[in-house]
Structure 1
């Protein structure tokens, strides 16, 4: 079991983790602006959401930090992890930024 850690620079790429691995997406965010990274698409039969947390920068209150979304590889198949940076109350609105990676998990 391994962690596959992805950052903003990894967007647009493809990855092939193994069952039991954990995919960790870490993206910059400033929650006090009202904008948060939100999950738009993932096939939960391939990657099961396993957590969402925020780690503030050293600056303290009102500052930015890193949003961390975790997914456990639970089965074979192909899926995309698509995230959008938008205000929480604008779930239908367009994202100001996007992040997407392709995931392929080989079968037995």
Structure 2
């Protein structure tokens, strides 16, 4: 298995079956704005969605949201995340990543 890291600048990534796509986004829970998975196409599976606190426990310091996606089939699919307050409808930011999956596992 290979971890493929995605930054907020990436809109497309190419992986193999057995790889894991890791999306890391800055998040500051004290603001109320949280990243959440809005859409995951067939052939992709979210295997992790966690908040990682900042290294220094400073008041108001932001951490990061780490979302892990594993392909379950060859083809293309889209993962969309939104940054919003859970109690509001307005979206502060969006990230869409198109994942192209080849039919063979990496390294094998």
| Superposed CA offset, 1:65-99 (max 9, x none) | 11000111111121111111001223xx2310111
TM superposition shift of 1:59: 3.2
Kindly report the root-mean-square deviation, in angstroms, between the aligned alpha carbons of the 2 structures. 1.5
User: Hey, which of these two has a bigger chunk of strand by percent?
Assistant: 2
2:46 aligns to what SS in structure 1?
Answer: strand
Number of aligned residue pairs = 103
2:16 aligns to what SS in structure 1?
Answer: coil
Greater shift, 23-32 or 97-106, is seen at: 97-106
After TM superposition, the runs of 4+ consecutive aligned structure 1 residues lying more than 2 A away are none
TM-score, normalization by structure 2: 0.85
Corresponding residue for 2:35?
A: 37
TM superposition shift of 1:106: 2.8
Corresponding residue for 2:7?
A: 7
Stretches of structure 1 lacking an aligned partner (at least 5 in a row): none
Corresponding residue for 1:81?
A: 79
TM-score, normalization by structure 1: 0.85
Question: Does the Cα contact within 8 Å between 2:33 and 2:83 map onto a contact in 1?
Answer: yes
Corresponding residue for 2:90?
A: 94
Q: Distance in 2 between matches of 1:73 and 1:56?
A: 27
| Superposed CA offset, 1:43-76 (max 9, x none) | 1x32101011111223314320110001111111
1:62 aligns to what SS in structure 2?
Answer: coil
1:103 aligns with 2:99: yes
